[in-house]
Amino acid sequence: MWEKPKTPEEAKALAAGPAGVEFEKFPLKFAMPAYFGARPQPGKPVTVNSGTASLIRISGQPYALTCSHVLEGYRQRLAEGECIFQLGNCELNPVAQLKAEDKGLDYALIGLTEAQVKEIAKPGGPFDGTCFYEVGQWPPGEVKEGDFVAFGGFPGALRKAASFDELSFGSFSSGASRVTSAHEDHLVSQFEREFWVTHGHEAVPESIGGMSGGPVFAIRISAETEILTYEFVGHITEIHESYELLYVRLARTLPF
């Protein structure tokens, strides 16, 4: 039986065990780097900006959900000259495929084709194993203060240029972060580095900026079956690193 931790120390102990490893892996299955910049050319350094996209399906339709401010960064780069946009291995025009955007709520919902779904994570490629989360009930269930969420994304600090036309994206995720305040359209989770437990091979970056758009899942436990499940509840809009605050826009704000 899984019991919700009551203190940060209990949460750290849980994260250090096998359950913590699985919690951390889960959100990254549905996350993808969203990056943009000039088309790579030999002899020129790679200059890109990047965020993260949540990969979801609603009523069978695949979408990439990211932040409006990520898309606005692409628009600004495009206005300055040639700029391409990619989700994983797939180059696309996010503005042409935009289904909904709200700058105030900071979301941008990009519709995808099934061909693009296959291109985003080619078998045998660096993003092989990435999935699209099938959203069940709509709107998603309520998230309350004291609940735990799992989240993940691709910090810019872990992005490396392997060659003029090849990038490597390191990932960061948290398997159990306590919700410290819940509101109608967003929630906040405060986390402290002293309670972080690392399972991966990459060093924890000093800055985890670049995770905007990353998926956030509420950790649910059935009172009847005691089975632990995840529910997609929103995406990361901001990480205030000075106060170690994670801001999440709730998926219920999307126009469905």
CATH number, domain of 185, equals 2.40.10.120
187 lies in a domain? yes
3 lies in a domain? no
Amino acid identity of residue 113, one-letter, is T
Domain of 126, in residue numbers = 8-253
Q: Do residues 122 and 128 touch, judged by C-beta distance below 8 A? A: yes
The total number of structural domains in the chain stands at 1
In this predicted structure, what is the pLDDT of residue 199? 44
Per residue in 5-43, pLDDT (tens digit) is 555 555 555 555 555 566 788 999 999 999 999 888 777
In this predicted structure, what is the pLDDT of residue 206? 60
Per residue in 158-211, pLDDT (tens digit) is 767 665 566 777 888 888 888 999 999 999 998 755 544 444 455 555 666 789
How far apart, in whole angstroms, are the C-alpha atoms of residue 48 and residue 75? 13
- Which has more pLDDT, 233 or 191? 233
How far apart, in whole angstroms, are the C-alpha atoms of residue 7 and residue 20? 15
202 lies in a domain? yes
How far apart, in whole angstroms, are the C-alpha atoms of residue 188 and residue 177? 10
212 lies in a domain? yes
2 lies in a domain? no
In this predicted structure, what is the pLDDT of residue 128? 72
Per residue in 83-101, pLDDT (tens digit) is 999 998 899 999 999 999 9
Q: Which two tokens stand for residue 27?
A: 């959100």
pTM for the full predicted model: 0.86
154 lies in a domain? yes
